[in-house]
Structure 1
Amino acid sequence: MSRTLTPMSKISSSTPFDIGLGLEGTHVLITGGCGLIGKIVVQAFLAAGSHVTVVDLPGTDSVLDLSDHNLHFVPGDITKDIAAAFTSAEDIFGTVQCCIALASLDLSVLPQSESICDMDPQTWQRVFDVNINGTFLTCQRWLQGIRTTVSKDSKQASEQPPPLRNVGCIIMGSESGRFGVRTMPAYAAGKSAVQAGLLASLAKDAPRVFARARVNAVAPGAVDTERFREESERYGAQWRYEECEATVPMARAVLPEDVARTVLFLASERFAGGVCGVVVPVDAGKGGTVCWGREELVERRGEGWGV
């Protein structure tokens, strides 16, 4: 028995499909927005038409164009001043709809040791205070702000949905949260904590506060910043090879713009409205880390080790 299929509407280039990010007018708060990656993320959101509040340490704002009326800078430490920073941001642009939790102690500025045997426990605690507790406090204050707005709007007009869009939080993780860092385990442990346990917990929590709220993470590999290029010069071609070529299919460090565009995508409800609880690696396909340099291994085996 034959069946007659109902013709579908023809799809053509004239079919309406808005490819804009839809981030215009969205209030985005970015911690660590004056850093080497952070400043590019700030530029990206400003280009998308967002209202941007940057929270970073005092004296770091020289990289920002504070004449831009869509940009607000709040000096502060995420471990102590984040609640006040959000309040300042809300006074200027209203509820923080999207939060980019980028601030952390960076691996390149932390003291490293040859072995965990030699690591200073105070360094471990300091990294955890900033990278885990500071990130937790940032995410907590973001969600508290969303809850307060939802509660106010519900009381004022119980039949109307809250006027919120692009509601989300994006945590800045790292390849180290997957692969570890032998010379700085505190950094790897901290990133693993926020991009795994904290992310998974928040992804279940946030939609209970606001149905369309999403929480995701971005985990960059080596990023081709000014500092990375300086380190490549300082430590040599072998160091660069091991960092971003030996185990990386694309054999390169990623651009800061690659990271920023991924953050924009996740922030956009129009493009990533169905993405929640996901860690997006931006690492050119990195598959691991080099455990032994060839010369180092030859030397060890010459001493009778590993035979």
Structure 2
Amino acid sequence: MAKTSSSAPFDITLGLDDTHVLVTGGCGLIGRVVVQAFLSAGSRVTVLDLLGTEKVLDLEDGKLHFVAGDITKDVDAAFTKAEERFGTVCCCIALASLDLSVLEQKESLCDVDPKVWQRVFDVNINGTFLTCQRWLQGIRSTVSSQNAEKRNAIRNISCIIIGSEAGRFGVRTMAAYAAGKSAVQYGLLQSLARDAPRIYEHARVNAVAPGAVDTERFRQEAERFGPQWRYEECEATVPMGRAVGAEDVARTVVFLASERFAGGVSGQLVSVDGGKGGTVCWGREELAERRGEGRGV
């Protein structure tokens, strides 16, 4: 067995120092933890989020920049402002979306307003597409630049799309959300992962699909809807028997962003969900009531 040379230590630092990272939705409950993770890694971070959300950020940090904007219409202008501040956006975290907790859910698809369906798609699919497109356009512009110093300065070129367990298992009461997440974490991911290396040979694209995340909002919902809701959301089909931490999601994102750690990883969907194997279709009482009506199952 070959010995490892003591004169060549294995570097386990992330190598993200001064890498320009842009995070959409970086003021949200998960987004702000992702932002802090990159700042802790020494990155320069631009946050793109809606006006008024920036109050949760420490904007006195010289490596943090906030740009107000809507991913459905302000992406190009936001990236331009980010580039003016910190240079090429090397790493893009496409996190912003209409969250399941803020969407009105219906008992059946029969009752869904088509305008709601379209709105979710406009933000969660088209907004994510526009974000990824502008990231890749920025990389192409830098690669084709006549400025050799500018070209040589880029590293950790990657895009990470934030999907959801919903894109895999569906959401009976909000199919639009599930369909949107499925579109970006499968179709868009695989297409972009094949395209990006044609622009820059080391460019990588991956996705992270969180399950139930133990945020303040999740705890409020668990209190509101009760123990059975929590059991079905993050215990019944989850081997680890709990919601994952926002820090778990953030560390996975940072790992994928690091060329030193994940330089050979692209086109992958990483689930951060405690090993979730599915969703609960019927509550025990609900099923008993259904059988009692004589409709069968």
TM range (shorter): over 0.9
**Residue 48 of structure 2 is aligned to residue 55 of structure 1:** yes
Return the alpha-carbon distance in structure 2 between the equivalents of residues 78 and 178 of structure 1: 24
Return the alpha-carbon distance in structure 2 between the equivalents of residues 63 and 86 of structure 1: 21
Unaligned runs of 5+ in 1: 1-6
**Residue 186 of structure 2 is aligned to residue 193 of structure 1:** no
Q: Give the partner amino acid of 1:78.
A: I
Q: Give the partner amino acid of 2:117.
A: W
Q: How do 1:47-196 and structure 2 match up within 5 A?
A: 47-152=40-145, 155-157=146-148, 162-196=152-186
* 1:32 alignment partner in structure 2: 25
Aligned residues: 297
Return the alpha-carbon distance in structure 2 between the equivalents of residues 157 and 183 of structure 1: 52
Unaligned runs of 5+ in 2: none
Q: Give the partner amino acid of 1:224.
A: D
Q: Give the partner amino acid of 1:20.
A: T
Relative distance call for 1:13 and 1:115 in structure 2 (3 A) is: farther
TM-score, with length taken from structure 1? 0.94
**Residue 222 of structure 2 is aligned to residue 229 of structure 1:** no
Shift of 1:271: 0.2
**Residue 262 of structure 2 is aligned to residue 269 of structure 1:** no
SS at match of 1:73: strand
* RMSD value, Cα: 1.4
Relative distance call for 1:289 and 1:70 in structure 2 (3 A) is: same
Q: Which of 13, 26, 32 in structure 2 is aligned with 1:20? A: 13
**Maintained 8 Å contact 1:149/1:162:** no
Q: Give the partner amino acid of 1:210.
A: Y
Shift of 1:14: 6.7
Shift of 1:18: 0.6
Return the alpha-carbon distance in structure 2 between the equivalents of residues 48 and 269 of structure 1: 13
**Residue 245 of structure 2 is aligned to residue 252 of structure 1:** no
* 1:305 alignment partner in structure 2: 295
Return the alpha-carbon distance in structure 2 between the equivalents of residues 13 and 68 of structure 1: 38
Shift of 1:305: 1.6
* 1:288 alignment partner in structure 2: 278
Q: Give the partner amino acid of 2:121.
A: F
Identity among equivalent pairs (%): 77
TM-score, with length taken from structure 2? 0.98
Return the alpha-carbon distance in structure 2 between the equivalents of residues 218 and 14 of structure 1: 36
* 1:3 alignment partner in structure 2: none
* 1:41 alignment partner in structure 2: 34
